[in-house]
Amino acid sequence: MTSINTNSSAMAALQTLRSVNNNLSKTQDAVSSGLKVGQASDNAAYWAIATTMKSDNSALSAVSDALGVGAAKVDTAYTAVESSIDVVTEIKAKLVAATEDGVDKDKIQDEITQLQKQLSSISASASFNGENWVSGSVGDTQSVVSSFIRTAGGVSVSTSGYSATADDLLFADDTGILDRDGAVSGASMTGFSISSTSTKGDIDQLITDTETALKGMTALGSKLGSLQTGIELQTDFVSKLSDSIDSGVGRLVDADMEEESSKLSALQTQQQLAVQSLSIANSSSSNILSLFR
């Protein structure tokens, strides 16, 4: 039976065309954006996971930047310690020279005074972004951001560092590695002085104090070196972790371009056939006119 009021063939062809056009639109979106899951309606579960992990990756990027700042702080402190070791070594050599008979101790003291001023300058200028890790107060917290952690209970940021003791600072509230009292004038490494009246015993004690200061600075340099290594390892890990997250998110939401290309070609062909089918279905009604001629 053929009806001019209801064309079942045309309706079926129209539904097919609509379905093809809908699929074609999705495929074109995937091809243009490169994403098979671009919004929650595409796949709610994958979209939620990808959105969360992208947010975490942004936090990791901030951690990487913070590690860079932390590395600069530690490098600055290490450079100060290394330079101070060179200066104290030179002071030690001057003191050894002062033990010789007939040496003008006052002139040696003039040289030592310049070296002491250099020590104070190194310590005071070893600052990065307003933080000085080698000259401060005992109990100061020296820390750098090391990682961003997500657990079932929530998220947190961890840090690496230490709470400074007198052994962690060149100068600190009249203590510190270079502020320990010596045998002459109750002196620190930057405050002692020798003169023509200084005895060999006085100078020997100062040499001993200088050696103690060198050991303390060497230990501090070792601690800072360990922290440098830790920061470098953490920076490398954060970089690799960020790449892994990007790769994992890509597996969830990125479109397979080879597959989408094949689907696009097939759907374009289906669209043409559906249009042709609808045209044929619509023309069947007009054929009824021939029955009335």
The residue range of the domain holding 222 is: 47-253
Cα distance between residue 6 and residue 47, in whole Å: 43
232 and 265 fall within a common domain = no
- 60: tokens are 């990791």
Q: Are 194 and 203 in contact (CB under 8 A)?
A: yes
CATH number at residue 133: 1.20.1330.10
207 and 102 fall within a common domain = yes
pLDDT for position 1:
61
Q: What is the DSSP string of 170-223?
A: SBSTT-TTT-S--SSTT--TTT----TT--HHHHHHHHHHHHHHHHHHHHHHHH
145 and 66 fall within a common domain = yes
User: How many domains does the chain fold into?
Assistant: 2
Q: Which residue has the tokens 């040696």?
A: 108
Q: Are 220 and 81 in contact (CB under 8 A)?
A: yes
Whether residue 81 is predicted with pLDDT greater than 90 in this model: the reply is yes
Whether residue 199 is predicted with pLDDT greater than 90 in this model: the reply is no
Burial label for 292, CB within 10 Å (0-12, 13-18, 19+), is: exposed
pLDDT for position 90:
96
Mean pLDDT along residues 131-146: 86
Least confident of 45-54, 187-196, 284-293: 284-293
Mean pLDDT along residues 73-97: 94
Kindly state whether residue 41 falls inside one of the protein's structural domains: no
DSSP secondary-structure letter at 134? S
187 and 280 fall within a common domain = no
30 and 155 fall within a common domain = no
Whether residue 277 is predicted with pLDDT greater than 90 in this model: the reply is no
pLDDT for position 179:
79
